[in-house]
Every structure is written in C-alpha cells, then in structure tokens.
C-alpha cells in the first residue's frame, strides 16, 4: 500500500511492538517530499558520521534520500530491539554492507536500503541475507553499451530479443535484480556482474538462473520483483524460501 510522503514522519508511523520473524520480508516504500520539521527530526537521530555525509550532498533531493533512508532503518531497528533509534550501532563489511553490532543483533535482523529518483526502499527480515534495489527508468542510459560491459552473455542475448518498446524496462528490471543479488551476498564490487544470470524477458518471472563458478548457489536464493510504479523497477533478493513479502 502506497502512502503520501508529504507529511510522512517515520518516528510516529512505525508502531511500537513492530515485529519481524524469519518468515517475514517487509519492504517499506516511501517517496521524497518529507516536510522540513520531520526531516530535521530524522537528522537528529542519525550518527555524527551519517549527518556529516548528509551535509556533503550538494542537491537537496540526494540529502533527503540519505537522511530518510538511514532514519527509517534506525526507527525500524529501534522498534525491533526496543531501544532508541540513535542508540543503534552499525558495522560495515569490506564491501560496505551495514549490519548491527554484536549484542544488538542477537535476533540476527537483516536489512538493506536502496533509493533512486524519488523512491526510497528499506527491506527488513530476520536470519536471512537480503538485498534490495530500485532503479529509476532513465532515457539517457546507453543500454547496449552498459549491457556489453556488465551483463552476462545470456542476459545480453535475452535483452537483444526483447521488442524495442519493452527493451528499456527489461534492461532496468535486469539491472535491479542483479544489484539486489550482489547486495544480498555482500560481495559488492568483488563479484563480477557477468558471473551470474538473472531473467530478463518481460514474459518471465524474476529469478536467479545460474551462478558461476558455484552452480549450486543459485538454488539458495530467491529473487522477486517489487511493484513500484511505471517509472521505476525494483527487486529484492533473499536467502532461502518459505517467507512472505509484505510492502508497507
């Protein structure tokens, strides 16, 4: 369910008693447009490092995306852990993926954030690695050049077979699936994007087709598309099966 973001305040909106189990996959989706007082309240719960990063953004939209995304993560985790959002502590992998520090993560909550255009997504689950990605469909992207550099041979062939009127959407759907999987594994730039195949054609569901060199790895992951409207493509990659997706 999509809600208006004009007066959105995650400090008030995320209910007390909010819970996430290993069978839950929650994706919170919000659009830019947070009011000034609410944006400042979100800034106040960020760490000094997060605030400094926000202040380095030149464009207001980039600053807002960063602040809202980080604040929502803190509010969600604060509700789950029953502690104040500004008490949340993060550590970062070598690839830059954040996770909760030590004792705060006894329930093994997993989360991931993505934003593009005016959309912000935060995915939360427990005891499962997770990655989420959203991409605004842009007209200024050279599809063939980027596909030649980053897509696998099979993905390039599938993209070439898509009709011209659907090719741009298929490209961004493919890209969001690939990014979601890379983020879920925590590999970052250490894993080549052409070392695995995802589905591309519009008539196919989202899926991880093949992983190399470990072909068995593909069976351990599920990729799902997210309905984020006509101007964006988004996907989530989750370790294991037996979970239920809920968009909030």
Domain shared by 223 and 177, yes or no: yes
Q: For residue 248, is it within any domain?
A: no
Do 167 and 232 share a structural domain?
Answer: yes
- Residue 67: φ, ψ to 5°: -65, -50
Residues 77 and 48 in one domain: yes
Given this model, what pLDDT does residue 3 score?
A: 39
**Residues 70, 51 share a domain:** yes
Q: What is the pLDDT of residue 8?
A: 54
Candidates 21, 15, 32; CA nearest to 136 is 32
Q: What is the pLDDT of residues 173-191, one digit of tens each?
A: 999 999 999 999 988 777 8
Q: Is residue 2 situated within a structural domain? A: no
Containing structural domain, residue 23 = 10-132
pLDDT in tens, 209-223: 999 999 999 999 999
Question: Is there a domain that residue 244 lies in?
Answer: no
The residue-averaged pLDDT of 224-230 equals: 96
pLDDT-above-70 percentage for the chain:
94
Asked if residue 192 has pLDDT above 80, the reply is yes
6 against 69, higher pLDDT: 69
Q: Which residues contact 162 (CB under 8 A, 6 or more apart)?
A: 170, 200, 201, 202
Determine the straight-line distance between the first and last CA of the chain, rounded to whole angstroms.
6
Domain-terminating residue out of 83, 103, 132: 132
pLDDT recorded at residue 49: 92
Phi, psi (degrees; rounded to nearest 5) at 242: 80, 25
Residues 6+ apart with CB under 8 A from 77: 85, 88, 100, 104, 109, 111, 124
pLDDT tens for 129-155 read: 999 999 999 999 999 999 999 999 999
Task: Decide if 190 is inside a domain.
Answer: yes
122 plus 144 within the same structural domain:
no
Q: Do 125 and 37 belong together in one domain?
A: yes
Question: What's 146's domain CATH number?
Answer: 3.90.470.20
User: Does 28 fall in a domain?
Assistant: yes
Greatest distance between any 2 Cα atoms in the chain: 52
- For residues 19 and 121, state if they share a domain: yes
Q: Give a yes or no: residue 247 inside a domain.
A: no
How far apart (Å, rounded) are the C-alpha atoms in residues 204 and 41?
43
Split into its structural domains, the chain has a count of 2
Q: How many whole angstroms separate alpha carbon 154 and alpha carbon 136? A: 24
| 114: pLDDT strictly greater than 50 | yes
Whether residue 54 lies inside any domain: the answer is: yes
pLDDT tens-digit profile of 14-59? 888 899 999 999 999 988 876 677 888 889 999 999 999 999 999 9
- Other C-beta atoms closer than 10 Å to the C-beta of 152 total 22
**Confidence bin at 9 (pLDDT 50/70/90):** low
| pTM: predicted TM-score of the whole model, two decimal places | 0.92
Query: Is 142 found in the same domain as 90?
Result: no
């Amino acid at each position: 369910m999509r809600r208006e973001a004009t007066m959105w305040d995650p400090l008030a909106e995320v209910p007390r008693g909010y819970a996430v189990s290993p069978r839950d996959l929650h994706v919170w989706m919000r659009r830019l447009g947070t009011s000034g007082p609410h944006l400042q309240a979100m800034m106040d719960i960020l760490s000094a490092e997060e605030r400094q990063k926000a202040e380095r953004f030149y464009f207001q939209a980039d600053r807002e995306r960063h602040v809202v995304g980080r604040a929502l993560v803190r509010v969600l985790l604060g509700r789950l852990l029953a502690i104040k959002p500004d008490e949340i502590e993060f550590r970062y992998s070598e690839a830059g993926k954040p996770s909760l520090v030590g004792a705060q993560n006894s329930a093994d909550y997993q989360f991931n954030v993505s934003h593009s255009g005016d959309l912000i997504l935060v995915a939360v689950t427990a005891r499962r690695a997770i990655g989420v990605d959203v991409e605004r469909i842009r007209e200024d992207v050279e599809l063939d050049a980027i596909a030649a550099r980053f897509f696998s041979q099979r993905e390039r062939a599938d993209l070439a077979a898509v009709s011209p009127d659907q090719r741009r959407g298929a490209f961004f759907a493919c890209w969001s699936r690939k990014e979601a999987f890379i983020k879920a594994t925590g590999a970052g730039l250490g894993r080549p994007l052409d070392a695995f195949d995802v589905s591309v054609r519009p008539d196919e569901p989202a899926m991880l087709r093949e992983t190399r060199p470990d072909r068995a790895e593909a069976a351990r992951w599920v990729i799902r598309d997210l309905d984020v409207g006509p101007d964006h493509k988004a996907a989530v990659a989750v370790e294991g099966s037996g979970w239920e997706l809920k968009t909030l």
